Each structure stands twice: as C-alpha cells, then as structure tokens.
Amino acid sequence: MTHIDTVADLRAWRRTAGRVVFVPTMGALHEGHAALVREARRLAGADGRVAVSIFVNPLQFGPGEDLDRYPRTLDADLALCAEAGADRVFAPPVEEVYFSDRSIQITESRLSRVLCGASRPGHFDGVCTVVAKLFNLVQPDDAVFGKKDYQQLAILRRLVRDLDIPVQLHGLDTVREPDGLALSSRNRYLSPEERAQAPALQASLQLASEACRRGFREAGTLLSLVREHLAARAPLGRIDYAALVDRHTLEAQAQANADSLLALAVFFGGARLIDNLELD
C-alpha cells in the first residue's frame, strides 16, 4: 500500500489503476471504516484497486463544532487501511484540496434541511462539495459508505443522480460494539458514565421496531417509545431529534411502511451521536 498526498501523484496513479473502488473518510479510523475498506476490496476483486481518502474537511464543520479537536491519527489510519486491503491512501493537506480563493461550492436544497442538517446548516453542502471533488480526482467506478450516517448516504445518492456522476454507491450496515453502540470516532469524547448510557440509542430504536412489527405503525407511538426509553436509560443524553422518515426522500412520515427509517441524534455533553434503523 502507498500513501500519497498530492493531486498530481493521485492522478498519475489513477491513469494506470484500472477499476477503482473508493472509500472517503475523515480519518480517526476504527473497525467500522475497516469494514468499508474490506467491502471495497471485495467489490474490486483481484484485478481492481481500492483507494481510501483521509481528509478532515473544514467545509463541513460549522462555527463552534469540533474541527480543531477532531482526532488526527494518520499513522494508525494507514496501518488499518493496509491491513484491510487498500492499495492507495490519499491524505492531502487542506491547501491541496481547496484553492485559497475558491468561489464555487455545491448547495443541496432539500434532503439536507431536516434531521442532522436542521441543526448543522451548511454541513451537507460541505460534504457534497468535498465528495464531488474527490470523485473528480479519484474517478472511482464504485464508492462505499456506511449507513450510520444515513442522511449523508441519501444525499450523496442524490448528488450522483442529479449531477450524472458515473459512480455506483454502496451502503454498508453499521458496525457496532457488542453492546449495540454504533462505532464512531466521536465515541472517544464520552465520559465513562455517558459511554455506559450510549447503547440506549440503538436499544430505543429496536424497541420501536419491535412495536412496529406488532402492528403499531403510527409515528407518534413509535417516537414516544424511543423518547421514553432514552429518558429512562440515558438521562445524561439530550435528544436533538427523533424522527420517522422515508429512507429515500427523508420526508417525515405519519405511519411506518416498508421504506421507513427511524433516525436519532443525541448529545452527550459535547459529543453528538447519531443512529438509525431501517424498518421492514
């Protein structure tokens, strides 16, 4: 595996790489990211190549968010990528990605106005801008993203569709700790007490899912179960949102159906955790 940090080196590699499967990341990699790289390796096959990017994108951090303290662990990240089967890691400095006088940015005007986007204005514009740039640079045939950030995946599917970007997107199920907590680089911000309560996010969603299977499909009923469980099991948490939405359009639903997604965001101190569950 080779680590490159300039656009020129990336383009030189891409000219001879053949089929490429791409995994964009912001670093601070964990087993969830390793699963994405392993899936990319599987999709690429023996003759394809796997590219991973590690770039902490300043455009997707709002005022007061954790850009400065976001963990940078490049040496450990490179080791994880090599073990999981990556062929190239593109880890550029900011000035290699953005011109100092840049004046063009992508704006998403529908799917980003709800859920995480409602409390993080501009975040998904930054995501769309950097992913579009990375797609232009890497020119992958396929790209792999985790379903933990389901809104991001839905928005990037819309980006690829609306801008006719020739990349096939693949969503991979969330990788979890044994107690159900979704793996996240931000879990390291949790205190021991908060970490003990954090698995209640997925447990609350599973409780609502079980109720749905028993025939309780009204959004109010399902979301009340989520909120009540969190109040009882995670009193240190503060709910940002709990929502029942269509998994493709992210529009709120009054009743669950086969396209429904339960989505949740909870603050523990300064750490904001997200989770979700697809309903049958």
pLDDT at 280: 81
Residue 238, domain extent? 185-275
**Based on the structure, what is the number of domains in the chain?**
2
Contact, 22 vs 53, CB < 8 A?
A: yes
pTM: 0.96
Domain match, 31 and 54 both = yes
pLDDT at site 65: 85
Both tokens assigned to 1? 């595996």
Residue 265: give its domain's CATH number: 3.30.1300.10
Select from 149, 172, 195 the last residue of a domain. Answer: 172
User: Do residues 280 and 245 make contact, with C-beta atoms less than 8 angstroms apart?
Assistant: no
Q: Same domain for 164 and 56?
A: yes
Low pLDDT (below 50) residues in the chain: none
Q: Does 211 lie in the same domain as 110? A: no
Q: Do 112 and 223 fall into the same domain?
A: no
Q: Quick one: 225 and 90 in the same domain?
A: no
Question: Is 45 in the same domain as 110?
Answer: yes
**In contact, 154 and 250? CB cutoff 8 Å:** yes
Q: Which tokens in the block code for residue 109?
A: 């005007």
Are both 12 and 98 inside the same structural domain?
yes
Supply the residues annotated as catalytic: 33
Query: Is the distance from CB of 241 to CB of 249 less than 8 angstroms?
Result: no
pLDDT at residue 222, rounded to an integer: 98
Listed residues 144, 172, 200: the one ending a domain: 172
Instruction: Give the domain CATH number at 126.
Output: 3.40.50.620
CA distances (Å), 218 to each of 209, 212, 215, 230, in order? 12, 8, 9, 19
